[in-house]
Amino acid sequence: MDTREQIEQAIKQMLDAGESISISAVAEKCDVSHSLIYNRYPDLKEKIKELKSGQKARQKTESDEALISTLLAKNKALQEKVKSETSGQAEEAFKSMLSHVQQVYSMYDQLLDDRNKLAERLGRGQ
């Protein structure tokens, strides 16, 4: 196997293994100097640089996706917390209003009873 094939094979192996790719890493794997890749195989040098850029972009994308997932999960948890707290507050407000309505209705009954007694007394002429 000539040096070019060896370098191409190393690139393929590194990609398949998910290893971080760089000219130095490929050169080390092939037991050649990185200057050999720079000087004799400029096309492979460019290929390695493109692959390295692609790896960095994928890592950033994966990192961004993980961050988005984390933030979405936190957002959902906060929404549920707010919803349960709001629900509890609404229930308390409803109970308070119901109690107030009962008090007002009781006062209305008392006033109606007092009015009827007064009308009855006035009707008898007292």
Three-class SS of the chain: CCHHHHHHHHHHHHHHHCCCCCHHHHHHHHCCCHHHHHHHCHHHHHHHHHHHHHHHHHHHHHHHHHHHHHHHHHHHHHHHHHHHHHHHHHHHHHHHHHHHHHHHHHHHHHHHHHHHHHHHHHHHCC
Rg (alpha carbons) of the chain, rounded to whole number:
41
| pLDDT for the residue numbered 126 | 60
- Average pLDDT across each block of 10 residues of the chain; the chain has 126 residues. List them in order: 90 91 93 92 93 87 91 93 80 88 92 91 78
| pLDDT for the residue numbered 110 | 94
Residue spans per domain, the chain = 3-124
| pLDDT for the residue numbered 58 | 84
